[in-house]
Amino acid sequence: MISTALHIGWSYNQRNAKIGIAENAFLDAGAEILYIINLILALRIMRARQAWLGWSNIFTAFIWLLVLLTGISTVMLVVVVAQSFLALQTNILRINRDIELFGLAWLAWMAFVPLLLTAVALVLPRRNYIDKFGTGRFRWKPIILMTASTLLTLGAGWRCGTTFASPLQQIGRRPWYFTSACYYVFALMPEVIVIILYLAIRIDLRFHVPDGADGPGSYSGATVDEKDPQWPETVYLPVAVQDNDGLGAPVVRQDFLQVDPRTGQYQLSRPQDSRHSTTSSLESRRGMQYQFIQKDAIANFA
pLDDT tens, 246-283?
Answer: 555 555 555 555 555 555 555 566 555 444 433 333 33
Residues 206, 189: Cα–Cα separation, whole Å: 23
| Closest by Cα among 134, 126, 268 to 198 | 134
pLDDT tens, 112-171?
Answer: 999 999 999 999 988 878 888 998 899 999 999 999 999 999 999 998 888 888 665 555
Tell me which DSSP letter residue 263 carries.
T
Phi, psi dihedrals of residue 80, rounded to the nearest 5°: -70, -35
Q: Stretch 23-32: mean pLDDT, rounded?
A: 74
Pairing, β 256-259 against β 234-236: antiparallel
Angle subtended by helix axes 2-12 and 17-49, to nearest 10: 160
pLDDT tens, 191-226?
Answer: 889 999 999 999 999 999 988 888 888 887 654 444
Instruction: Look at 7-21, 87-101, 147-161 and tell me which has the smallest mean pLDDT.
Output: 7-21
- Domain extents in the chain: 2-206, 234-301
Phi, psi dihedrals of residue 253, rounded to the nearest 5°: -110, 125
